[in-house]
Structures are given as C-alpha cells and as structure tokens.
Amino acid sequence: MPEMVLRKYHGLGNDYLVYDPVRNKMVLKERQIEMLCRRNIGVGADGILYGPFIEGEEIKVRIFNPDGSEAEKSGNGIRIFSRYLKDAGYVKEESYVLTTKAGKTNVSFLDEAGNRMRVDMGCAKFTAREIPAVGFGEEIVNEAIFFCDNFYNATCVSIGNPNCVLMLEEVDRKKAMQLGPYVENSKYFPNRINMQLCQVLDRENIRIEIYERGAGYTYASGTGACAAAAASHRLGLIGDQVTVHMHGGELFVEFGEDDRIFMTGPVVYIGKITLAEQFFS
C-alpha cells in the first residue's frame, strides 16, 4: 500500500482529519473512514475532510462522520479545511468560496496564518421539508415533541444540515448523552438529525450541549452553534449578536441582512500523521 499522510486540526475540541486526494493515492471507503476515526484503534477524530476536489476555480470538500456517513455541512469542518487549504498553498487570498454538499460558502481569513476565520453560513430554514421532518406542519418552531421520557420545546432548523434545538433552563453533558440517541434516530427525522440542548444565559450569550448524528457527543459544532443561535433568535430570546458557549470553547454568531448568519471562530493545527503500511490490512 502506498504511504498515506493526513493532517489533523481541531476547532474548539471538534477534531478532524484532512485527507488530500491530490497528495494521496488511496480512495477511502466507509470502512477505512470508520477505522481512522476510532480513538482506540485508529488515529481518532470527529470526522474526515476529504479534499480538495478542484474543478476550474471551484474548490470542493466532502465531509464524513466517524461512522462513514457523509454530512452536508460542518461549520468547524469548513474552518478547519480552509486552514488546511491555506497551509498547503491552495488558497492565498484573504477570502475564497468553498463548496460542500450543502452548497457554496464564503470564508474570510482574519489573520495571515489562518488561525481565525469568519464564515458566511447562509440563512436558517425552519420548514419541515428543508430539514427534513415528517408529521409536522409547515414550520417546526417551539413545538412540543416527545423524546425518550418527556415533552420538550423543540425548534428544528436547517443550516445546510438538519438540527433539532431543545430549549432548557439548564444544560449539561449527561442530559445530552441521555437524549441524543433518541433525538438523532427519532421517527420524525428520516435522515437522522443533530441535537443541541440550548440554555439562554442573556440576550448576548447562550450555552449549548451537542449530540451529532454519526458522531455522538461532541465538544463543539459550528453548524450546531448557528442552529441554536438561529432558534433562539427566531424565538426572540437574543439579539443580532451572540456568543455561543460550548464544552470546547466559544463561537461568535452574528445575524446580518435577511437574518443571514455569520460565524467567527478559531482553528488549531495539531500535526501531520503518516499511517503504517499495515494499518488497513
């Protein structure tokens, strides 16, 4: 097997491996992605960023969960992959456009090294069709939905990927771990769903705990932070600027014209990993 080299980064503890097909010859399959992401027998990661795929001036990335399933979008993943593109010399401009399965995203570097970025995450969509969700009316906003053991006030929102935000007076990891599998795999969501438990601290601060489809409990999520902020904003609980506090750290979310969402946050480079030839054997 030819040598395989990956790069590892994290955004607030949400860690990804970057697999560059331009610099590696192997085509990763679902089984290989699962093995790489497992922390006990592999490298360990919350997902794989597979790219770049360059077509003319368009730069594409595919995003994979630890279970091998493909995600439409990842806020932390977009920042991490953008940092890799800068590190590897693919992008030299202060801003550029990255294409994911969910569409095009504009990314702006806020420093020369690419340690911090501002990302245009688009507009939140609350319709059941966009999420998708079944058994509901047009929108799912502040809806009482039964999960596991109780009814919860839920707002479901697409940020290019599906999210279910449960508003609670207090949030913690234990509750996220308890509820997460039930919400992710609920009959209401045919493509499964990401869950955020959201506590509004004041009009400029919210706290969330995250359970992601195909990944489980995660320290941070860019799309999750934007989804929780969008739900809180739609419910009138916060203003146009909010700091989202997560287990791994903080992201800053702003609402622009037409409620367009902008996310600002950091990326940390961990290192280069060369796989042993017998790893996949």
Segment 103-161, tens digit of pLDDT: 999 999 999 999 999 999 999 999 999 999 999 989 999 999 999 989 999 999 999 99
Q: In whole angstroms, what separates CA 86 from the centre of its chain?
A: 20
pLDDT band at 25 (very low <50, low <70, confident <90, very high): confident
Specify the higher pLDDT residue, 279 or 191.
191
- What would the two tokens of residue 139 be? 């929108």
Query: How many angstroms separate the CA atoms of 193 and 13, rounded?
Result: 21
For the cut 90, the answer to whether the pLDDT of residue 277 exceeds it is no
pTM for the structure as a whole: 0.95
Quickly tell me which residue has 């992401």 as its tokens: 37
CB 188 within 8 A of CB 134: yes
Average pLDDT over all residues of the chain:
96
Cα dihedral: 130, 132, 134, 136 (round 10) = -40
**Is 137 in a helix, a strand, or coil?**
coil
pLDDT band at 188 (very low <50, low <70, confident <90, very high): very high
CB 220 within 8 A of CB 226: no
Query: How many angstroms separate the CA atoms of 164 and 29, rounded?
Result: 29
| Phi, psi (deg, nearest 5) at residue 101 | -60, -25
Amino acid at 138: E
The pLDDT value recorded for residue 26 is 87
Residues facing 63 on adjacent strands: 49, 71
Q: Nearest CA to 207 among 228, 190, 236?
A: 228
Q: Nearest CA to 165 among 139, 188, 197?
A: 197
Query: How many angstroms separate the CA atoms of 196 and 178, rounded?
Result: 12
CB 223 within 8 A of CB 121: yes
The pLDDT value recorded for residue 66 is 95
Q: Which residues contact 56 (CB under 8 A, 6 or more apart)?
A: none
The pLDDT value recorded for residue 173 is 97
DSSP type of residue 219: S
Amino acid at 262: F
The pLDDT value recorded for residue 278 is 84
Q: Terminus-to-terminus CA distance in the chain, angstroms?
A: 9
Quickly tell me which residue has 């480079």 as its tokens: 269
For the cut 70, the answer to whether the pLDDT of residue 169 exceeds it is yes
For the cut 80, the answer to whether the pLDDT of residue 2 exceeds it is no
Reported as a single tens digit per residue, the pLDDT across 196-206 is 999 999 999 99
Half-sphere exposure of 3 (CA within 13 A, CB side): 5
CB 190 within 8 A of CB 128: no
CB 209 within 8 A of CB 193: no
Reported as a single tens digit per residue, the pLDDT across 205-259 is 999 999 999 999 999 999 999 999 999 999 999 999 999 999 999 999 999 988 9
pLDDT band at 280 (very low <50, low <70, confident <90, very high): confident
Amino acid at 33: I
- For the chain, domains (ranges, CATH) are 5-122+267-274 (3.10.310.10), 123-260 (3.10.310.10)
